[in-house]
């Protein structure tokens, strides 16, 4: 060591001495001039002592320490953990070397020294004594040295505050550098130095950087905020000001970081977000992935405080209908709820989703495609917490995708999926197989998958799941087998049909060789038997025998409890078991002892003759037990059951107390109540509140004022130069219908688009039914109701009537009506999940040049699209999307991140585009799901008017109903879709249910449904068939066959079902109407009853009577007078086409203030016209 040191010191010191006179610059120059000679010379001297290692050092060269060549012989020793005392001696020496090197003028030496120091820091060695030597080099010109000095400084500044201050001036100089990167890096290091005394300097630096020209520096400023805050929380107020300023920043670079700062410093200041909300939503796609996560999480919280619960009404409606896995208690008080629900519904005004809420959902959805699991999870939790029920499904696919990722990711995702499956089972049902377990999965993943599978189990898939479980039981992983057995138990408790199967399976497991398996089975069997003990006394006997073999305490305790509880079923065995147990009492575990006492007590009460002595014996043993619980229990039991003279009243009731009926246990998922934690959070994962966790607030009762999010457009004009004027207009427009109290805006735009409005909204309705049908059982009627609702909504808005009252009035009046009416009312009061469509399509008036050309084409093809959509709903959404995209492509510049990216261009759509653009984007995501959902699963809907096809008495227990689902019949557009529901109320199963054509009228065609092979007793099944009625109301006579019988049945369509809605504008309508005059026109006068006066009721009734769509009305009125609509008599128009021939059916209802209203029907087919008049008249006047 010492000779080497000498070698070393000589040249270095010599150089130093020479160069002290010269200034440093010269030194550098010299070094530059002779890059090889002087530093290399030093190097060689330095390493010459250790020849063999030299090469190796050179190879690993820059990497320094780890491979650090010659010094390792000394260095290594102290580095090993707890490695000898020698380290203490060599350390100061070595550090001297390093100091030496740091003091040198050669960058290469400094670099070498710094590398070694950093390597030491990395290994957790203390190098704080080098601080003075290192900190001098902070101004070093060599970037790499500088960087490493920074690393050191940040690590040790806290310990050496005074010395650290030496470096501050360097950074302050750096903050003024013309190069943005240097400014940023200076701020970064300055803010990382945790020295309280520089807080004012930091504060100043941050403030300055926050208004820096470079977004990168501003980003760094945002990063510095939490650092300063943790250093000195006193600065909070000032920091909030900076945050507020940075939040207004328009660049994607800053957005993520500043929201992070916001979350750390002032998450409670939600008001700071208002003005930036829309901007954040729009920027989101282009923010870097980590920032996305933070922003999405923050926006989730924000939305929870600002918007209304989109599922509130649905919750009320569906809570009974949707049988959740654990919803048994909910089912019980369903009936009471029903009344309450109705009440609540009639009181509540229809839900309208805030357009900003919609904006958030729409802009986050594409992020489900992110490669970053954290982003996907963030979006998933946002949808789970914020989206309307029907839309939550889109996240399932993305989450399932994450299951392919690393096992840690799987672990977290599965935990969240497990929580979600409890609330929304339907969402993951299509992906059941993705949760199947492979033997190579780690155990913790297996157990979580098992949890998910159990949550997903339902009557329909239980057989598949149980088959899977069977294979799992044979696994080598015993923990997993035990978990599987528990899962089987849970399935068995919740799905009654399979209880016996499961029980038998578990009993078979009792003969398994593995004791753990047996023990687990015993525990589960015990729980199952408790549900119906009388049937299974042989199982109890079998288990009694097991006490000899099973040693696992829990299992023994379970068996004893079971025998005691059901001792009357095994009167002979029970005392014998007690005898054996009394023998081994002292050696048992505590839980077993307690159960022995229990068993003794129960036997004493039922069979005191045989067991009196045994019980006494056991109680005596227990009296001297070490465990006080057991002593307590023994004392208590003795007092209770053994009659003594002074014993109190209690012993009279001993039997009642001890032999009371115990309720069967409910096996619950450990994930049951986890969803009160925000999904995806650490707290959720641990199921305890982690420090710093922000509670997810509950939805507000009433929405706070949405206008707080309005942004003054003018103010931000300079920044917005890049976004098109259209965009700006849009921004204003969106707000207008919702936020402006007076309709100050001009009319023409309104009227122009109003034509497309209702068409689009109703289109949305039908679309939704196609795609959203996944979970809600009422999807079909919902689609209708949405349609109505939205139209009604729009209408209400147009007329500027207060929407609430009329609807309410109608609802109340209607509530007295027949049940069918009530059903309708329910339909109506379901809120439309989205209403943005209207507002957004308001800006349809400004089509781009290109779209203008194609506009007419568009609107024509739109009809086709429409038709196609009718035929193939799953595909439908993509079509308009496509068109969207083409337009969009034109204006898509290269990704423009630095400046505010205009709001997603879909808002720009030509007039006459039936699908409003926003809707299109909404549906994009939905369309992803419907490919997965099998189209065959059309949920039975209670609220469609259904007709009886086969009475249950004539059908010998088979009960068949049919209704017109009004869905397009996919295989043949000329057919009417008839939804048939079979209910087997007989005791035996019905087999091979099918239809056979009997005598059809000429021209009529029938498309049968696929044969139902088996319909078990008590089950029901729903199928859809198509009938071409040839536009006549003649009944289709059919033969319904079962495996044993044939029934003649007939389906008779009401005339209103023979048509499909057709979408047209008012002008088109008038034109068509003009061509269908004379014989084709039928007019009828009528007196509308009081409650039918308002348009909502009219529209609703007409549409209920006939499958028509409403023609957007009001353009004639609103065109002329923009402000309040004239109080003139409203005219309602409806249009449709007959299914087979496609003849137009036009219905006009003209109401008059006083006097009779007029109903006009124009239809080529006079017969249909006449019949329709009757039907509609009836519907309206009833």
x-or-dash pattern for another protein, window 904-933, by CB under 8 A? xx------------------x---x--xx-
Contact between 59 and another protein per CB under 8 A: yes
CB atoms within 10 A of CB 1071: 11
Contact between 764 and another protein per CB under 8 A: no
Q: Which stretch binds another protein (CB under 8 A): 689-697, 748-756, 798-806, 1162-1170?
A: 689-697
CB of 888 or CB of 1068, closer to another protein: 888
CB of 288 or CB of 1175, closer to another protein: 288
Q: Which stretch binds another protein (CB under 8 A): 283-291, 318-326, 995-1003, 1082-1090?
A: 283-291
Quote the least distance from Cβ 416 to another protein, whole Å.
9
Quote the least distance from Cβ 639 to another protein, whole Å.
17
Burial of 872 (0-12, 13-18, 19+ CB in 10 A): middle
Quote the least distance from Cβ 407 to another protein, whole Å.
6
Quote the least distance from Cβ 161 to another protein, whole Å.
13
Taking each helix axis from N to C terminus, what angle separates 1095-1105 and 779-799, rounded to the nearest 10 degrees? 150
E-state strands within 931-1032: 946-950, 958-968, 976-984, 990-997, 1005-1007, 1012-1015, 1020-1028
Quote the least distance from Cβ 713 to another protein, whole Å.
24
Q: Which tokens go with 279?
A: 């901007």
Site for another protein, residues 211 to 250, rule: CB under 8 A: 214-216, 220, 223-224, 226-227, 229-230, 233
Task: Please pick, from the candidates 48, 332, 407, 508, the single residue that binds another protein as defined by CB under 8 A.
Answer: 407
Radius of gyration of the chain (CA): 39
Measured CA to CA, the distance from residue 874 to residue 1152 in angstroms comes to: 42
CB atoms within 10 A of CB 1072: 15
CB atoms within 10 A of CB 998: 15
Map residue 375 onto helix, strand or coil. helix
Quote the least distance from Cβ 35 to another protein, whole Å.
5
Give me the sheet containing 1012-1015, strands edge to edge. Answer: 1012-1015, 990-997, 1036-1041, 1046-1051
Measured CA to CA, the distance from residue 135 to residue 318 in angstroms comes to: 68
CB of 464 or CB of 501, closer to another protein: 464
Site for another protein, residues 653 to 672, rule: CB under 8 A: none
Which residues lie below 8 Å from residue 992, measured CB to CB, with a gap of 6+? 1011, 1012, 1013, 1014, 1041, 1042, 1043
Q: Which tokens go with 784?
A: 């209708």
CB of 727 or CB of 924, closer to another protein: 924
Q: Which stretch binds another protein (CB under 8 A): 30-38, 545-553, 614-622, 845-853?
A: 30-38
Site for another protein, residues 156 to 195, rule: CB under 8 A: 158, 179-182, 188, 191-192, 194
Quote the least distance from Cβ 92 to another protein, whole Å.
22
What are the beta bridge partners of residue 1160?
1083, 1148
Under 8 Å between Cβ of 11 and 41: yes
Site for another protein, residues 453 to 492, rule: CB under 8 A: 468, 471, 474-476
CB atoms within 10 A of CB 3: 8
Measured CA to CA, the distance from residue 501 to residue 488 in angstroms comes to: 10
Under 8 Å between Cβ of 766 and 869: yes
Measured CA to CA, the distance from residue 387 to residue 381 in angstroms comes to: 10
CB of 292 or CB of 811, closer to another protein: 292
CB of 363 or CB of 1094, closer to another protein: 363
Instruction: Name the pairing type of β-strands 1059-1061 and 1131-1138.
Output: antiparallel
Task: Please pick, from the candidates 40, 241, 864, 948, the single residue that binds another protein as defined by CB under 8 A.
Answer: 40
Contact between 148 and another protein per CB under 8 A: yes
Site size toward another protein (CB under 8 A) is 140
Map residue 123 onto helix, strand or coil. coil
Contact between 1044 and another protein per CB under 8 A: no
Contact between 58 and another protein per CB under 8 A: yes
Residue whose structure tokens are 């003794």: 600
Contact between 690 and another protein per CB under 8 A: yes
Contact between 372 and another protein per CB under 8 A: yes
Contact between 1068 and another protein per CB under 8 A: no
Task: Please pick, from the candidates 107, 755, 794, 795, the single residue that binds another protein as defined by CB under 8 A.
Answer: 107
Contact between 861 and another protein per CB under 8 A: no
Under 8 Å between Cβ of 90 and 78: yes
Q: Which tokens go with 2?
A: 């010492």
Nearest to 1059 by CA among 1160, 1163, 932, 1156: 1163
CB of 406 or CB of 646, closer to another protein: 406
Task: Please pick, from the candidates 30, 53, 208, 288, the single residue that binds another protein as defined by CB under 8 A.
Answer: 288
Q: What is the dihedral of CA 714, 718, 720, 725, to 10 degrees?
A: 60
Task: Please pick, from the candidates 174, 489, 680, 765, the single residue that binds another protein as defined by CB under 8 A.
Answer: 680
CB of 650 or CB of 686, closer to another protein: 686
Contact between 130 and another protein per CB under 8 A: no
Containing 1135, the helix (H) or strand (E) segment is: strand 1131-1138
Quote the least distance from Cβ 99 to another protein, whole Å.
19
Map residue 1149 onto helix, strand or coil. strand
Task: Please pick, from the candidates 140, 243, 260, 614, the single residue that binds another protein as defined by CB under 8 A.
Answer: 260
Contact between 290 and another protein per CB under 8 A: yes
Site for another protein, residues 884 to 903, rule: CB under 8 A: 884-886, 888-889, 892, 894-898
Measured CA to CA, the distance from residue 21 to residue 213 in angstroms comes to: 42
Quote the least distance from Cβ 590 to another protein, whole Å.
17
Measured CA to CA, the distance from residue 1029 to residue 1139 in angstroms comes to: 8
Contact between 24 and another protein per CB under 8 A: no
Q: What is the dihedral of CA 311, 376, 775, 1108, to 10 degrees?
A: 80
Q: Which stretch binds another protein (CB under 8 A): 399-407, 704-712, 1066-1074, 1095-1103?
A: 399-407
Measured CA to CA, the distance from residue 317 to residue 337 in angstroms comes to: 9
Nearest to 624 by CA among 614, 616, 615, 634: 634
Measured CA to CA, the distance from residue 50 to residue 72 in angstroms comes to: 11
CA 935 and chain centroid, separation: 23
Containing 1145, the helix (H) or strand (E) segment is: strand 1144-1150
Task: Please pick, from the candidates 6, 33, 406, 662, the single residue that binds another protein as defined by CB under 8 A.
Answer: 406
x-or-dash pattern for another protein, window 312-351, by CB under 8 A? ----------------------------------------
Contact between 33 and another protein per CB under 8 A: no
Contact between 264 and another protein per CB under 8 A: yes
Site for another protein, residues 420 to 459, rule: CB under 8 A: 433-434, 436, 438-440, 442-444
Quote the least distance from Cβ 180 to another protein, whole Å.
7
What are the beta bridge partners of residue 1086?
1157
Task: Please pick, from the candidates 30, 53, 208, 263, the single residue that binds another protein as defined by CB under 8 A.
Answer: 263
CB of 374 or CB of 577, closer to another protein: 374
Site for another protein, residues 937 to 956, rule: CB under 8 A: none
Quote the least distance from Cβ 254 to another protein, whole Å.
12
């Amino acid at each position: 060591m010492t000779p080497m040191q000498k070698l070393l010191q000589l040249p270095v010191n010599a150089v130093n001495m020479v160069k002290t006179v010269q200034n440093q610059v010269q030194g550098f120059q010299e070094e530059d001039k002779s890059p090889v000679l002087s530093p290399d010379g030093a190097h060689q001297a330095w390493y010459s002592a250790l020849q063999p290692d030299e090469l190796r050092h050179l190879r690993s060269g820059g990497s320094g320490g780890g491979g650090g060549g010659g010094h390792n012989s000394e260095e290594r020793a102290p580095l090993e953990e707890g490695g000898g005392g020698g380290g203490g001696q060599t350390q100061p020496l070595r550090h001297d070397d390093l100091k030496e090197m740091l003091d040198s003028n050669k960058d290469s030496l400094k670099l070498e020294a710094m590398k070694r120091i950093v390597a030491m820091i990395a290994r957790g060695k203390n190098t704080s004594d080098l601080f003075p030597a290192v900190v001098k080099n902070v101004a070093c010109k060599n970037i790499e040295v500088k960087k490493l000095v920074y690393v050191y400084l940040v690590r040790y500044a806290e310990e050496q505050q005074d010395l650290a201050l030496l470096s501050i001036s360097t950074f302050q100089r750096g903050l003024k550098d013309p190069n943005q990167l240097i400014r940023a890096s200076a701020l970064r290091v300055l803010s990382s130095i945790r020295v309280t005394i520089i807080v004012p300097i930091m504060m100043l630096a941050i403030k300055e950087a926050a208004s820096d020209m470079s977004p990168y520096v501003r980003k760094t400023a945002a990063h510095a905020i939490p650092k300063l805050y943790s250093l000195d929380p006193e600065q909070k107020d000032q920091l909030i000001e900076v945050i507020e300023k940075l939040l207004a920043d328009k660049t994607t670079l800053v957005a993520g970081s500043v929201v992070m700062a916001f979350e750390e410093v002032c998450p409670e200041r939600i008001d700071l977000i208002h003005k930036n909300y829309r901007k954040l939503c729009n920027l989101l796609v282009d923010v870097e992935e980590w920032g996305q996560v933070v922003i999405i999480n923050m926006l989730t919280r924000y939305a929870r405080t600002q918007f209304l619960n989109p599922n509130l009404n649905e919750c009320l409606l569906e809570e009974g209908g949707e049988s959740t896995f654990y919803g048994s208690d909910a089912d019980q008080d369903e009936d009471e709820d029903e009344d309450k629900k109705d009440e609540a519904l009639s009181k509540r005004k229809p839900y309208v989703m805030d357009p900003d809420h919609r904006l958030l959902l729409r802009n986050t959805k594409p992020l489900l495609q992110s490669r970053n699991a954290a982003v996907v999870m963030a979006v998933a939790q946002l949808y789970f917490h914020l989206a309307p029920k029907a839309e939550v499904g889109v996240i399932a696919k993305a989450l399932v995708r994450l299951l392919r990722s690393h096992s840690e990711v799987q672990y977290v995702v599965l935990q969240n999926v497990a929580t979600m499956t409890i609330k929304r089972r339907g969402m993951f049902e299509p992906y059941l197989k993705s949760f199947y377990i492979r033997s190579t999965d780690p155990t913790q993943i297996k157990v979580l998958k098992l949890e998910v599978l159990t949550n997903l189990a339902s009557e329909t898939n239980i057989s598949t799941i149980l088959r899977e479980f069977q294979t799992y039981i044979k696994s080598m992983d015993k923990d997993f087998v035990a978990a599987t057995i528990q899962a089987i138990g849970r399935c068995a408790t919740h799905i009654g049909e399979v209880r016996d199967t499961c029980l038998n399976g578990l009993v078979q497991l009792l003969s398994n060789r593995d004791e753990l398996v047996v023990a687990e089975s015993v525990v589960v069997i015990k729980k199952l038997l408790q549900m119906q003990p009388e049937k299974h006394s042989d199982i109890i006997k079998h288990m009694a025998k097991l006490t000899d073999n099973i040693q696992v305490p829990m299992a023994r305790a379970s068996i004893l409890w079971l025998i005691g509880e059901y001792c009357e079923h095994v009167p002979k065995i029970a005392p014998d078991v007690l005898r054996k147990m009394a023998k081994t009492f002292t050696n048992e575990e505590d839980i077993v002892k307690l159960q022995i006492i229990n068993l003794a007590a129960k036997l004493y009460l039922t069979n005191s003759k045989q067991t009196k002595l045994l019980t006494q014996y056991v109680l005596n043993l227990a009296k001297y037990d070490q465990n006080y619980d057991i002593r307590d229990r023994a004392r208590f039991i003795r007092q209770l059951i053994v009659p003594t003279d002074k014993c109190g009243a209690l012993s009279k009731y001993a039997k009642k107390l001890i032999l009371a009926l115990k309720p069967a246990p409910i096996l619950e998922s450990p994930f049951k109540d986890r969803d009160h934690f925000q999904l995806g959070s650490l707290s959720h994962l641990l199921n305890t509140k982690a420090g710093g966790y922000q509670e997810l607030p509950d939805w507000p009762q009433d929405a706070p004022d949405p206008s707080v999010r309005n942004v003054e457009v003018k103010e931000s004009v300079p920044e917005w130069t890049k976004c098109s004027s259209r965009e700006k207009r849009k921004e204003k427009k969106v707000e207008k219908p919702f936020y402006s109290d007076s309709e100050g805006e001009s009319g023409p735009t309104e009227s122009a688009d109003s034509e497309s409005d209702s068409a689009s909204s109703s289109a949305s309705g039908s679309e939704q039914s196609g795609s959203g049908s996944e979970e809600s059982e009422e999807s079909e009627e919902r689609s209708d109701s949405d349609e109505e609702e939205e139209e009604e909504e729009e209408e209400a808005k147009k007329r500027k009537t207060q929407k609430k009252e009329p609807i309410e009035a109608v609802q109340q009046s209607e509530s007295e009506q027949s049940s069918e009416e009530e059903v309708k009312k329910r339909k109506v009061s379901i809120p439309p999940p989205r209403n943005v469509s209207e507002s957004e399509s308001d800006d349809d008036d400004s089509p781009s040049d290109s779209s203008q050309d194609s506009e007419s084409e568009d609107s024509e093809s739109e009809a086709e699209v429409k038709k196609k959509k009718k035929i193939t709903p799953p595909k439908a959404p993509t079509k308009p999307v496509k068109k969207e995209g083409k337009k969009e492509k034109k204006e898509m510049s290269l990704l423009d991140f630095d400046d505010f990216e205009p709001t997603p261009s879909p808002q720009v759509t030509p007039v006459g585009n039936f699908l409003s653009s926003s809707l299109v984007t909404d549906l994009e995501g939905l369309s992803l799901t419907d490919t997965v959902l099998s189209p065959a699963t059309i949920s039975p809907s209670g609220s469609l008017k259904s007709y009886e096809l086969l009475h249950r008495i004539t059908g010998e227990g088979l009960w068949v109903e049919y209704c017109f689902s009004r869905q397009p019949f996919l295989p043949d557009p000329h057919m009417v879709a008839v939804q048939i529901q079979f209910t087997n109320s007989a005791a035996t199963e019905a087999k091979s249910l099918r239809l056979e054509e009997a005598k059809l009228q000429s021209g009529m065609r029938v498309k049968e449904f696929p044969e139902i092979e088996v319909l078990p007793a008590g089950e029901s099944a729903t199928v859809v068939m198509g009938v071409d009625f040839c536009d006549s109301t003649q009944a289709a006579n059919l033969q319904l066959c079962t495996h044993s019988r044939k029934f003649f049945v007939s389906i008779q369509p009401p005339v209103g079902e023979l048509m499909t809605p057709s979408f047209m504008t008012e002008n088109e309508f008038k034109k068509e109407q003009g061509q269908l005059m004379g014989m084709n026109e039928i007019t009828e006068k009528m007196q509308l009853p009081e409650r039918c006066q308002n348009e909502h009721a009219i529209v609703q009734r007409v549409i209920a009577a006939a499958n028509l769509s409403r023609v957007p009305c009001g353009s004639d009125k609103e065109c002329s007078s923009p402000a309040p609509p004239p109080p003139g008599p409203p005219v309602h128009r409806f249009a449709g086409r007959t299914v087979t021939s496609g003849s137009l059916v036009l219905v006009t209802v003209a109401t008059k203030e006083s006097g009779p209203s007029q109903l006009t029907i124009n239809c080529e087919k006079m017969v249909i016209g006449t019949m329709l008049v009757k039907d509609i008249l009836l519907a309206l006047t009833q």
